[in-house]
Amino acid sequence: MKRDDLYFMREAIREGRKALESGDVPIGAVVVLDGRIIGRGHNQVELLKDPTAHAEMIAITAATATIGEKWLRDATLYVTVEPCAMCAGAAVLARLKRVVYGVQEIKTGAHSSLFNLLNDPRLNHQIEVTPGVARDECAALMMEFFQNLREQNKNT
């Protein structure tokens, strides 16, 4: 873990809270370059009715727009949950230097849970990965979402 990882992960958690408030799965992400956040995102799948509106995709798009480049070679993506195959693929295609995430996603995770797209030597780019940063805080956010969902389903 690097010096600022906890700080930036907490910024990703703030983004995840936005998703929670709008009824989406509470995943948040920020892209950091030279110690500065250049892209933010939170899940908006339900809000936009778009299966590609994941936190990572939105943050990567915002980051490339901020710097006016398609490559994020020296940037780090902080995300509360292990990226899925789509988001891991986008991270590889964006040439991110690092991905830092909070909790594993055993059903769809594409770093260590189900696949390892971020470090697959068959791809043209591999990414340094730091898992488990603010794991408990990220897990609590997900548990809150699913607890709320169970309560809603019980009441309907």
Other beta carbons within 10 angstroms of residue 69's beta carbon come to 13
Catalytic member of 15, 56, 82, 105: 56
Taking the C-alpha atoms of residue 111 and residue 14, their distance in angstroms, rounded to an integer, is 23
Whether 56 is catalytic is yes
Kind and range of the H or E element at 53? none
Count CA atoms closer than 13 A to 79's CA, side-chain side.
30
Nearest to 11 by CA among 147, 156, 133, 151: 133
User: Is the distance from CB of 55 to CB of 26 less than 8 angstroms?
Assistant: no
Any idea which residues carry the catalytic annotation?
56
